A and B are shown apart, each in its own frame.
Chain A
């Protein structure tokens, strides 16, 4: 799909402001570390390897995407980080403390919204604080602040069933953030939305991320979404699910829709396409990978 006559920069070639940004990020504290993570499922044909030797670190206020073809285990990965599934081997640690189960330090936003239908929007956002026993005005005010940030102040008294998909997902984000998590896990959060809503939600998420002090681990299968949002992209291959490459996105911030046509953006997209396409076609798959 790319015209070879157009000369693209290398995706490894970082503009100075991007290089500076990454060297600054390197100095930050590690929030999430994943070491030698493996996950096997028992199946009729013997053990099925969903994840194999996955290693990466996420630093404070970083926005990391995990991308890969379907069946590469990216959902399994985020569910293990959330503590909803157990790894077969390896360690997931938040602030150096190994994860043993789900907890409030890792807020999660799911693809299918998962708002509590019996609670109003405000009470959904207050769910986390209430589980901690915070029932005072301060918690309530904080919830209102989060609703304001996601632009839903006027909808606080509605029930989830009365909201559109995009609005529901914004409530889910506010609900996760109101709990003050160390890292926000997002499992294909915009996958169920239509294209227009999706685009506005991406812009919205970037604004929220900039306004709030939050680290994000974001799962998606949409290449442009990953480039548009992330600092770094972890590319997973399928069968077994393992890291093919971790790409430092060379597109400067603040991001805008115009950048979708910039050389750095297109070069990154082409690289992602090559990696994932190679993964999908078994004929040239494994052999080429050995060289990479």
Chain B
């Protein structure tokens, strides 16, 4: 071989670390992927910490610890001990006091009540679960959370139960696509919340209208998305199956459905996210319930730490469900990732073989 280097395994990438990180469409290596992913959450969190804990960043208000000489009258004499006032008001008051040669007001710069510090939200994420609701009869946070999950589950369940088969039907037979899709497309443009009042009238004040709103919000989109995904199954697979003797029923069950399945699963993951969006509207119609009611209630009490805690909990629940579904997909659709045990052994073997032998395989 005159040029052995051509077949040698490629040398480990060298070069400036930064240049390697910022390559145009160059995949990151495993370690960089992990740490940059951590950074994705760390950066927003660190900016939140900075705004909350570094006194000179933002902090547009002053919590008055001592009002100074309250006998001095003036435009700003309403500033009293324990108040939270805007910084410029506090400065003006002190100017009035200074002009009168009186004792100055003292205070600490704070953020507005709607910006809670990380430790306060963290504490609330625990205390919100352990604190009894202010009005007896209101739901505890864990009850609200469970209630929300229940509404989401049933709304999505009914939506998928009818939407997926109908979508597959439309994606498989142009006849059904023409029969259903124009109307579905028409209803799709009606925002689900506009059906709120109607649903309450028909279905009462309890969970049913809320489930119905989530159903309306996801079902019509689902039919169209599922039918598109079903249509995207490679037509040549259908031809191949036909030349192997598959009849119409077998084409649907043995080619269209398994071919569309991984795509449909991805669609469902995205649509569950939509269901959470409609949840917030759905829970505020009829009798308010679930996390949205909790957030609404806490906001009225100005317990913003609890509001943030509930919002973060929604995010965490959504992320966990999605990650769980993604993990499940690796077991459900091993052909998508090709990550079964045998494959790893085969890949290792292929790497061990010289290139010239490989070319013949």
Contacts and interface: CB of A to CB of B under 8 A. Distances in A.
Interface of A: 82-84, 101-104, 106-108, 110, 112, 114, 116-119, 127-128, 130-132, 155, 157-162, 164, 166-167, 172, 175-176, 179, 185, 196-197, 200
A151 B116 CA distance: 67
Given A158-B343, A200-B360, A118 B241 contact: no
Given A110-B236, A131-B245, A132-B245, 14 more contacts: A82-B243, A84-B239, A101-B242, A102-B242, A102-B243, A103-B243, A106-B243, A114-B240, A116-B237, A131-B247, A158-B342, A162-B343, A162-B347, A196-B359
A162 B338 contact: yes
A99 to B, nearest CB: 12
A158 B240 contact: no
Chain B binding surface SS class: helix
Contact of B240 (A101, A110, A118, A196): A110
B255 interface: yes
A121 to B, nearest CB: 11
19 contacts: A82-B239, A84-B243, A107-B244, A108-B239, A110-B240, A112-B236, A114-B236, A114-B240, A128-B244, A130-B254, A131-B241, A131-B246, A162-B347, A166-B361, A175-B244, A179-B245, A185-B243, A196-B359, A197-B359
Interface residues of B, number: 31
Given A158-B342, A196-B359, A118 B258 contact: yes
Nearest to B358: A164
B361 A118 contact: no
Interface string B253-284: 01100110100000000000000000000000
Nearest to B343: A162
A180 to B, nearest CB: 10
B269 to A, nearest CB: 19
B357 to A, nearest CB: 12
B333 interface: yes
B116 to A, nearest CB: 49
B243 A118 contact: no
Given A158-B342, A160-B335, A176 B243 contact: yes
A104 B244 contact: yes
A291 to B, nearest CB: 40
Contacts of B234: 114
Contacts of B250: 131
Contacts of A172: 240
A116 B243 contact: no
Contacts of A110: 236, 239-240
Task: Give 6 nearest A-B pairs by CB, closest first.
Answer: A104-B245, A102-B242, A114-B240, A108-B243, A159-B335, A128-B244
B15 interface: no
A132 B342 CA distance: 30
Contacts of B259: 116-118
A106 B240 CA distance: 11
Contacts of A131: 241, 244-247, 250, 254
B334 interface: yes
Interface string B333-353: 111101010110011000000
B359 to A, nearest CB: 5
B334 to A, nearest CB: 7
Contacts of B245: 103-104, 128, 131-132, 179
Contacts of A132: 245
B236 A164 contact: no
B243 A158 contact: no
Contacts of B239: 82, 84, 102, 108, 110, 114
Contacts of A179: 244-245
Nearest to B247: A131
Contacts of A116: 237, 240-241, 255, 258-259
Contact of A157 (B240, B342, B359): B342
A118 B261 contact: yes
B335 to A, nearest CB: 4
Interface string B217-260: 00000000000000000101101111111110010001100110
B360 A196 contact: yes
Given A84-B242, A131-B244, A159 B236 contact: no
Nearest to A166: B361
Interface centre among B255, B342, B360 (most CB of A within 10 A): B342
Nearest to B243: A108
B240 A162 contact: no
A281 B107 CA distance: 94
Contacts of B254: 127, 130-131
Contacts of A106: 243
A127 B334 contact: no
A159 B241 CA distance: 17
Contacts of B241: 116, 127, 131
B50 to A, nearest CB: 47
Nearest to B350: A164
B105 to A, nearest CB: 72
Contacts of A128: 244-245
